[in-house]
Amino acid sequence: MIETTVAPTEAPAKHAPKYTRNQPYSSKVLVNDRLTGPESEKDTIHIELELEEGMHYLPGDAVGVLPTNRDEQVDTVLKALNCTGEERVLDHYKVEISFREALSSRLAIGKLTRSAVNQLGKIAGDKAPAALKAHLGPDNKAIAEEYVWGREFIDLINDFPGLITEPQQLFQVLARLTPRMYSIASAYEAHPGQVHTTVRVVRYHSHNLDRQGVCSGFMGERMPVGTQIPIFLHENNNFRLPVDTNAPVIMVGPGTGIAPFRSFLEYRQIMGHKGDNWLFFGEQRSVSDYLYKDQFQTMEKDGFLTRLDTAFSRDQKSKVYVQDRMRENSADLYAWLESGAYFYICGDAERMAKDVERTLLDAIALGSNSTLEFAAEYLATMKKEKRYQLDVY
């Protein structure tokens, strides 16, 4: 390994990226492997994509993927609207394309939104049936939110047929099909010319239909090795390794939240950084859901990964989560923070990140033999010093 004094946050000279969400790079899929075992309730995949010479990223950055809607989804919408797909429409940039292309790559026909319901109501005007009117406007927000839950655009036009009279109207009703951002799971220096990411393929059954996440389904089922997909790299300067290469880092990444920490660890290892590394990883079962197990265990065995704490919630009668592992190690956590450690969280924003923060506050209070008020002030100082960083979704 090479000793370096260059700050990890330093990047090549700033310039406008060649490829963006509006002008993506056509990347070749190099690897698309399932990480989870056959016993797993989840389908988590590891994706490796080729980059053009000159494309570069830093640990903490994201890769944007532009998906397409499934052909069968497009076909069902065309059938419901009594269209062939050959009709001509103007896209968001006033470029003329076929209606099929619009439904495939321009319009969000997946997850139904309250906005789409309201826009359909505006188009229908006086012809809107009472059942649709009952979902419109701010006064009916709760009813509308309950209706759209678990539904897609096809459900809306099946429930309220005949209100769309021409294909162009869908550009008023539906939002754009936008790129999905995935935390990068590789260090460029370890994999030159490549970018890796970790994706859970979302599948579910709702309102009598099998459904899937727009982009995760695209990556899991329609991105075999050798295909070309549109991507771009996205900077995330709010999620960066410490400039001090000797600073310790603590990383909490359950599930696919592990992705950026694989990048962090690969980067620190190949660059010869001396700071200690502590990783918390959680999933359902160790036998089927231990993502990147061999790599992390090798790092631990080699002494590079100073501490590795795992929490597999279904491996015992009582569920155990990363927060429980943190709680068990409160004294050590506080000692690491006192030595200048940076603390990182990646994953679910709604529950996990909030639970981890509460547990960290408890650990600070316990470790310092002080109060939660002191812990809150301590954490506020960490945030100001950028020693507490989140990448949540």
Domain 249-392: which CATH class? Answer: alpha beta
From 325, 239, 319, select the one nearest 280 (Cα to Cα): 325
Structure tokens at 169: 């109207």
| Residue type at 325 in one-letter notation | R
pLDDT digit string (tens) for the chain, length 393 residues: 233 333 344 444 455 789 999 999 999 999 999 999 999 999 999 999 999 999 999 999 999 999 999 999 999 999 999 999 999 999 999 999 999 999 999 999 999 999 999 999 999 999 999 999 999 999 999 999 999 999 999 999 999 999 999 999 999 999 999 999 999 999 999 999 999 999 999 999 999 999 999 999 999 999 999 999 999 999 999 999 999 999 999 999 999 999 999 999 999 999 999 999 999 999 999 999 999 999 999 999 999 999 999 999 999 999 999 999 999 999 999 999 999 999 999 999 989 999 999 999 999 999 999 999 999 999 999 999 999 999 999
* Helix orientation angle between 114-124 and 141-148, rounded to the nearest 10 degrees: 110
CB atoms within 10 A of CB 369: 8
CB atoms within 10 A of CB 137: 11
CB atoms within 10 A of CB 202: 15
Q: Which residues pair with 199 in a beta bridge?
A: 45
Whole-number Å distance between alpha carbons of 51 and 172 = 36
Written as one string, the DSSP assignment of 353-370 is HHHHHHHHHHHHHHHTT-
CA angle, corner 387, sides to 381 and 390, nearest 5?
A: 110
Mapped onto helix, strand or coil, the DSSP state of residue 178 is coil
Whole-number Å distance between alpha carbons of 360 and 326 = 7
Structure tokens at 97: 């394309």
Whole-number Å distance between alpha carbons of 27 and 231 = 7
CATH T-level topology, domain 25-65+178-234: Elongation Factor Tu (Ef-tu); domain 3 (2.40.30)
Helices within 230-369 (DSSP H only): 259-271, 286-289, 293-301, 322-328, 330-338, 352-367
Q: How far is CA 15 from the centre of its chain?
A: 26
pLDDT at residue 14 in the model: 52
Whole-number Å distance between alpha carbons of 379 and 333 = 13
Give every CB contact of residue 15 below 8 A, 6+ residues apart in sequence: none
Q: How many residues are present in the chain?
A: 393
Q: Do 232 and 65 contact (CB within 8 A), yes or no? A: no
Helix (H) or strand (E) holding 344: strand 342-347
From 306, 258, 305, select the one nearest 282 (Cα to Cα): 258
Q: Positive or negative, the Cα torsion across 350, 314, 364, 392?
A: negative
The CATH homologous superfamily of the domain defined by 71-173: NADPH-cytochrome p450 Reductase; Chain A, domain 3 (1.20.990.10)
Query: Domains of the chain: which residue ranges?
Result: 25-65+178-234, 71-173, 249-392
pLDDT at residue 350 in the model: 87
